[in-house]
Amino acid sequence: MIMSNIKKIHIPPILIVFILISFLTGTFFELGIILSIVFIHELGHFMMACFFKWRIRRIMLWVFGGVMETEEHGNRPIWEEALVLIAGPFQHALIYLAIFIMSSIELLPASILDLIFYFNTVILLFNLLPIWPLDGGKLLFLFLSGQISFKKAYHFIILFSMCISIFLLLLQLWLFPFTLSTLLIMLFLFMENRQEWKHRYFVFMRFLLKRYEGESSISGIKSIILPHNSSLMDVFSDFRRQKKHVVYVIYPDHKRIMIDEAECLRNYFYFKHYNKTMGEIADSTG
């Protein structure tokens, strides 16, 4: 299983551009250190995901970070996803330990160890930025999705990430000397989130489909109260992770009918009642 997942490592075009630039500028050794640290970082995510038996689609490597794409779409417990995310930054602590040991026994020259220390720190801090799909952005999304609905949390983190990417890009151009690498990285992050925003409907539908298939982790109950003329999508927009929902449909005469979330999902995915109101669905189930 591990070997089959390792074969799914993907190198995007932007990384090839950086490799070519490093050859032309004589910085291939430095890039090799960076990519080694990134690989070790992603290995932390990978090993923890394998421990929890996640279905891994591919691992994408790029300068100063990487992305592990899985088949788990908001259906795992928040604490489990947090452990998979934290496993990446934890690898940097192990790298610091390795630097200390190598320095003590003088295994490598101090100049090389200083370079490893510098890149290890930069990559760690970069990955903790609150930008999707960096670890910091995903941790922020996990926190938000525990407080508000999945849809609202997902929309917020993507829009917030695009704004932060542009802000950091402008800040770098205004306050610091121009560097092509920073420009490319920030543009890459912005474009990644722009693409993610275009696919937001499909991400949300995947989340709902996992709920319908019964693959989601549940640890509590939360009520949803909506008027009778609401749609099924209005109900789903209030769905939270790890919560089982009881939907109360309120009529003009203050009559109230309760519907289980499973019935709502069944009406949408099985019966395909896309245009029916909650009042009509409640009357038919009652």
Name residue 66's amino acid. Answer: G
How many residues can be counted in the chain? 286
242 torsion bin: left (phi>0), alpha (psi -120 to 50), beta (else):
left
Q: Which residue in 11, 28, 30, 41 sits closest to 124, CA to CA?
A: 41
Contact between residue 127 and residue 41 where contact means Cβ atoms under 8 Å apart: yes
The catalytic residue among 30, 42, 106, 192 is: 42
Which phi and psi (to 5°) does residue 60 adopt? -105, 120
Look up residue 48 and give its two tokens. Answer: 């923890």
For 196, other C-beta atoms within 10 Å of its C-beta total 17
Cβ partners under 8 Å of residue 124, min gap 6: 89, 92
Contact between residue 110 and residue 123 where contact means Cβ atoms under 8 Å apart: no
Which phi and psi (to 5°) does residue 70 adopt? -130, 175
For the question of residue 42 being annotated catalytic, the response is: yes
Look up residue 35 and give its two tokens. Answer: 């990519």
Residues marked as catalytic: 42
